[in-house]
Structures are given as C-alpha cells and as structure tokens.
Structure 1
Amino acid sequence: MFRTRSFPLRVIPAALALSILPATPPAMAAKPAPPLDPSAPMVAVAESTSQVWTALAVLPDGRMILDSPAWTGAPGPTLTLRDTGGATRPFPNAAWTDPATAPEHRLVSAESLQLADDGTLWVLDSGLDAADHPVAPPKLVQIDTRSATVTRTWPIDPAVLRPGSHVAGVRVGRGHAFILDSGVPGLIVLDLDHGPQRRLMDHHPSLTAQHPIIAGGHVVRDGSDRAAIVNATEIEISPDGQWLYYQPPCGPLYRIGTDLLTDPTITSFELDDSTTLWYKTPPLGGMTVARDGTLYFDDVSTGSIFRFTAGRVYQRIVVDPRLRWPAAPAITAAGQLYIPTAQLDRTPRFNHGQMAVQWPLTIYRIDTAALPAPVR
C-alpha cells in the first residue's frame, strides 16, 4: 500500500502544488449535510494484539479475511482468516503464507483486497518485504473463499512496471483488473480473459501526491524524518463497474470511466483529459462503496467516517478518538460497515523505524442501514 517519497516541507509550497494539478473539469459542487449528532454507534467486533490490519473482507457467514502487508512491520501471515468465534489461521492456507514456499505460490505482501458477490477474493501481492526489497514478482491472485483455494494467478508483466514500482491497490470489473502503482505513479490495466497488460497515465498528476498526509494533527513523516509523500493507493469501482475512483492518501479524489481505460484505441492525451476531480477529500486511510453507490471515506486527519452519496451529498457520520488512522473499510450487502483501526503513524515506516502501536487494534462495525438519510 505505501511506498514513500521524502521531501522537506518547504519543497512543495501550496502555490506550486496547485499549479501542477491537472487541468481537468471538476464535478458539480458537493452538497454538505450537517454531521450526525450524536455520531453513529460503533460496535467493536475484533481485536489484534500483534498484527496491523489495513484492510478486510467480510464473508456472508460473518468470517473475516484480514490483510496485514509486510511493510507494517508486524509479524505473522499477510492474510488471516478469523472465524466467528475469534480463532485465526493463515489464508487461504499455511503453504500460501509460508516463506519456504516458492515465490510464485505464496503471498508475500497482500496490499489490497476485493470480495466479489460470487465469493471470489481478489488479492494484490506486491512481492515486497518490509524494507521494500523484492522477494517475488508482483501478482494478482484469485481465491475461491468457499473452498479456500487459489484458482488462478496473473503475474504483473515486467514491461508495465518501472524501477521502484510498488503495486498498491486493485479493483476488478468488466473483465479487467485496475491496479495502482504507488511507487512510480501509474495505472496498470490487466485484461483477465485475454492477458494483455497496459500501463496508463504514467506520472499523471491525479495519481501523484501533491502534499503530505496529516494524521492526528501532525504531518506524517518517514524514516528520514521528512514529510512522507505517498502516491495513489486508494481505489474503488462503482457497483455497475462504470467508474473508477482513486486518489493518493492525501487526496483529492478523482474519477474516470472504465470504458476509456479498457479501450486500447484511446490515446494518452485523451485519457489525460478524461479524469474528473470528484471531491476534495481529506487525507484518507481507505474507502469503500455501498450497493447504492454511496462512498464511505475514512478520514485519518480527524478520526472520522464520512459518506458521499451518489447525489453528491457529503456527511460526517462518526468522529471518535478511537479511530486512530482508520484503514480500508468494507461494507456488506446488508450495509454493515467494518473499519479497521491501524495506527499506521505508529508503525516503523512512519515512526523512526520503531513499532509504537498501542495494542490492541480494533475493528469496529457501523450499521449504515439504520442511519437516517442525510438531510441538507
């Protein structure tokens, strides 16, 4: 999820950052609604005393697949299955998370998860260890969650990677996988049926972090004590597969049509002009989309959860000091929103090489179906 670039804060003044944003048309103005008061109730559903979970998938029977990338510096398997009683085991099995297994048949660092309605789990493996050293080529892995078996893998073509690449986010739709390269800003489009892979929007400003991340009232810093600049890692796809949403953690959010990304006749110039500045989001730990097209954002700067409806109504539903760096959420068909708290600013990558997480880390659940509709 995170490969950082380091810049002293003085290197990117606001005027310069604004000047290098793409000249793309903004969407219609959003319509803010008053924050929910009181905040939506949060229920603690799981805790970790050793692993940093940055994403999750919730199965229909209530079991959870939990993602702990290597770069968090925490021990244990990169994917874990937690049953409804709280017991955990490596997922899909011990062999796929065993360092002794051949690299092409194991998960080194799961960076992003997507659960499909048919029970398919898509997993993006960067192949990088905690220090960003390559252990295995990056790959997309398809897992049948009903049988806990890997059904297919797609190695990422070296031709679409660059020195310093770090694949960080994936969404699948319309027969294609859309993969963010956070190490060297770009978008990789993989045709799942026919195999071709293309790299698009290389170094596009919408994929490139223009300013640091603010979390807990402070600028997030890397191991060199400089502002950590993280390119696009956050990605989501609309329920109909028509739109791809993406952003660097610092924001803002952009949108582009998937029909343009999957059409090999579209030129790079046409793509550059087709991105839309969708919303000026705060720094995000993750986002997810509900069946009705509502986007849910985890704001790491204030410990808040926001919703952004298909009608462009923006509303804070939760603010809570327990949400220290809320990470990539997941929402079920019934509207149960799950939010892992990751405290990433206390992990070695962003804390002078030291693990200072205050255990336990908690996953919370919010029943969004029980919330009142946002009223402007």
Structure 2
Amino acid sequence: MINLLCVALLSTSVLADAVTPGLEIAFSLERATQGISISANGRKFLSQRYSTTNSPQIVELLDDNSTVLYPDVAWNSYNASDSNSDPSLSFVDVDGARLGPDGRYWVVDGGTTGVNGSSKLVGVNLTTNSVDKLYYLEDIQGPYVGADDVRFSKDTEVAYLSDISNALMILNLTTGHGIRVLSNTTSSMPYSPIAYNGTWVPGSDGAGSFSWAGLDQIEVSPDGKYLYYQACSGGLYRIETKYLNAALHDPTLAANLEDYTTRFAFTPSTGGTTIDADGNIYVSDTQTLSIWKVTPEGYTSIILQDDRLLWTDLMWITADKKLWLPASQMRPGGDGLMAAGPNYIFTYPIDAGPSPIDHA
C-alpha cells in the first residue's frame, strides 16, 4: 500500500512526461462531452452536460461528426424561465446516461430541487427512438436532488442509482417501487472535497468554499454478485447485490445495509468509472489526469496518464477491447466550469471487452 500511495502522489509534472502509446483521438467535438455509449450496431450517444452557457443535452453522434438532439428536440427543450416548459417530459439536469443490458438508452436526470417531475430515470427505445420507460424519483430521493448514475442487476429487473447527496437508490423496474439506502453512512459520504490537478474544486458558497459530492460512481460485477461504489473523492466499497435486492422488501435490512458493506480499494478523486468482462474497474483520476485499473482482487495500478484527459467522465468499453475516454473539460475556475474546446473523446486498448451484463 505504501508503494501505491507513492505512485498516486507523484506530481502531475512528472507523470506528464510519461509516454502513452495507444491513446488515440476518436472524435473532436465543439461541445464538451461527459459520456459516450455505443450500441451493438455502432450508434453513438453522447451526454453533454458541462458548459458555462448551454443547458445539458443528449445527442446522437452521426458518421459525419455532426450531432442531432436525442431522442428528439422536445426532450432537450427545457427552459426554466418558460412556464409552458414541462420538466416532467424534458431533460432538466442530465447526469448519468448509458446503454443498459436491455438495449435501452437510459438517462439519469438529476433535476432541480423543488421542481416537480424534474428528477427521473428515462429509458429510450432504440428501435422507436422514443421514451418507453419513465420513473420519477421524488418519492425515493432525499430532501435535495442528487440522482447521478445508474447500473442494473443481472436480471435487469433492478436499477441502482447513485445519489451524490450521500445515498444509494434502489428501484424495481417492474413495479416502480424504490427506496433510498446507505444515507449519510461512512461509505456513502465524501471524506474530502473533490480534487483536480493538485487543488480543490471551488464550491458555490462563495470564496473559500469547496465542492463536495457523496456516493457517485457505481459498477456491477460481470456475474452480478457485487455492486461497487464510491463517493466522488474516492475510496471504493462493495456490497453483494442480493442484500440490495432483498432490502426493497425488508425495511430492517434496508436500514442496516452498512453492516454488509466492505472497503474494497484505495481510489482517487474520480470523474467516472467503467468495468470490463473480467471484472476490472477503470477509474479516472482527476488529480493526475490518469486512468487507474482496479482488479477483482482490489489491486490498483495506473495504466496511462495524459494531460489531455481533462476530467474523464462516463467511460465506455466496446467489443473490440477499446476503452473510450470522454475528456469532459470540467475544470475549477471562477465560474466553476471551463468547457472551451477542443473537446476530445479518446480510445485506449485494454485486454477485455465489456461486461456481459453492463451494456448490450
């Protein structure tokens, strides 16, 4: 562990000199991209959240490198200043977005506190290109909106949603019943502010404040046995999904899930994660602009570093064993975000394809 910590604390200036063979630019985009999902037949979907001037949006990336709003203009048309704009049927604050094992494109809309219908999980059918699954989260979430990302159980019946307000949400996709668990527990709360390139990310409470984010990144093991999760500041935990699924119908178990959690691996302040078919988790390090690999045994290593990996967020793995890395361009600054281009999505070769239950 001492050696690991020494590696993690190497200065960015030293790591910047490292050669990163295999890292290639796949796309150069006008707008910063938080996440990418690629369907089995090659369709590419982007979540574009980080901007100082534009609202979050979902787009499909076409072969000519242009984009179109997805699933349509209406879902990407929310305007808080327009009383006729319906937050229940449009994206208010897109957070996580990804193709699920059922073949749908799932969008986590974190919403806005106090705006009814704004916090929701939206499932888009890729055949009809229309929303055919919609779950509102107001009755599950805490006093503040925080829905951030989503993963699914092996049988695709249960969705697990991270809540950066220090909790995990569990949702039965058949019945619509959901609960909020691990609220304000050690494993769901951040132990430090979010870090970026040797500094703390500024907060929204004036000079000297910092940005904190609780339970954020989540992954499910390829066999469906474990849910891995961490606060944005790092420190990876895991819990068996059988306890999470049972907690949907057992209030006593739900109230005591912390007893079934385990510290799994030391991880850094993180933008996003993904998992491969062998159960290796890839973690973006927002401090050193690098990518860590966490094995199923909990061992960690840094597999690449590049100064262009500016806040790598929602990564993706394809069948040709490529790790897709959207550099979302989020940076600390006076306005909180600096999303000026060029905005790149990179690829990097790895030794495994996607988890069979992670996405279609």
Same fold (TM over 0.5): yes
**Is the contact made by 1:30 and 1:313 (CA closer than 8 Å) also made in structure 2?**
no
**One-letter code aligned to 1:237:** V
Quote the residue 1:362 is aligned against: 344
Equivalent residue, structure 1, for 2:94: 110
Q: Contact 2:107 / 2:121 at 8 angstroms: preserved in 1?
A: yes
Asked if the contact 2:239/2:260 (under 8 Å) is kept, the reply is yes
Give matches, 1:219-368, under 5 Å. Answer: 219-223=200-204, 224-225=206-207, 226-263=209-246, 264-265=249-250, 267-268=253-254, 270-345=256-331, 350-353=332-335, 355-368=337-350
2:132 counterpart (134, 137, 151): 151
Letter in 1 for 2:192: H
Cα pair 2:202 2:336 within 8 Å, conserved? no
User: How much does 1:76 deviate?
Assistant: 5.3
User: In the alignment, does 2:160 pair up with 1:178?
Assistant: yes
Q: 2:72 aligns with which of 90, 93, 105?
A: 93
CA displacement at 1:290 relative to structure 2: 0.8
User: Paired residue for 1:142?
Assistant: 123
Mapped partners of 2:170, 2:213: distance in 1:
21
On the 8 A contact 2:220/2:227 being kept in 1, the answer is yes
**Alpha carbons 2:51, 2:339 under 8 Å: kept:** no
Show CA shifts across 1:277-330 (max 9, x none): 111101111000011211111111101112122243422211111112211211
Query: Measured at CA, do residues 242 and 72 of structure 1 come closer, stay the same or move farther in structure 2, by a change above 3 Å?
Result: farther
Is the CA contact 2:325–2:347 (under 8 Å) kept in the aligned structure 1?
yes
Offset, 1:341: 0.9
1:83 pairs, out of 57, 62, 65, with 62
Describe the shift of the 1:352–1:134 C-alpha distance in structure 2 as closer, same or farther (beyond 3 A): farther
Task: Read off the aligned partner of 1:322 and give its amino acid letter.
Answer: R
Equivalent residue number for residue 169 of structure 1: 149
Q: 1:177 to 1:47 in 2, by over 3 A?
A: same
Distance 2:254 2:178 in 1: 15
The 1:146/1:73 distance shift into structure 2, 3 A limit, reads farther
CA distance in 2, matches of 1:337, 1:327: 12
- CA separation of 1:306 and 1:95: change in aligned 2, threshold 3 A: same
With structure 2 as the length reference, what TM-score do the two structures score?
0.84
C-alpha distance in 2 between matches for 1:58 and 1:229:
30
Moved more, 134-143 or 329-338: 134-143
Classify 1:219/1:206 alpha carbon distance in 2 versus 1 (closer, same or farther; 3 Å).
same
Gaps of at least 5 residues in structure 1 are: 1-28, 372-376
What is the Cα deviation at residue 85 of structure 1?
2.0
Aligned match of 2:22 in 37, 41, 59? Answer: 41
Say if 1:268 and 1:76 are closer, same or farther in 2 by CA, change over 3 A.
closer
* Distance in 2 (alpha carbons) for counterparts of 1:122 and 1:150: 9
Matched with 1:160 is 140
Once the two structures are superposed, what CA deviation does each residue of 1:231-263 show, in whole Å capped at 9, x if it has no partner? 121111112222111111111111111110111
Is the 1:230–1:249 contact (alpha carbons within 8 Å) kept by the matching residues of 2?
yes
- 1:343–1:357 contact (8 Å) kept in structure 2: yes
Distance 2:176 2:117 in 1: 20
Matched residue, 2:187: 206
Conserved in 2, the CA contact under 8 Å of 1:323 and 1:341? yes
Q: Over residues 72-95 of structure 1, what are the superposed CA-to-partner deviations in whole Å (9 max), with x where a residue is unaligned? A: 434255101101221100011112
* 1:305–1:331 CA distance, 2 compared to 1 (3 A): same
Residue 67 of structure 1, CA deviation: 0.9
- Alpha-carbon distance in 1 for matches of 2:239, 2:344: 34
Q: Match for 1:308: what amino acid? A: V
Structural mapping, 1:11-90, within 5 Å: 38-49=19-30, 51-69=31-49, 72-75=51-54, 78-90=57-69
User: 8 Å contact 1:171–1:179 — kept in the other structure?
Assistant: yes
* Kept in 2: contact 1:290–1:333 (CA 8 A): no
CA contact (8 A) 2:92 2:118 kept: no
Q: Structure 1's 57 and 244: CA in aligned 2 closer, same or farther, altered over 3 A? A: same
RMSD: 2.7
Partner Cα separation in structure 1 for residue 335 and residue 190 of structure 2:
22
Offset, 1:191: 0.8
What is the distance in 1 between the residues matched to 2:255 and 2:136?
Answer: 28
Q: How many positions carry a matched residue from both structures?
A: 331
Mark the CA change 1:193 to 1:355 in structure 2 (over 3 Å): closer, same or farther: closer
Secondary structure at the aligned position of 2:301 is classed as strand
**Could you tell me the percent identity over the aligned residues?**
26
1:16 aligned residue: none
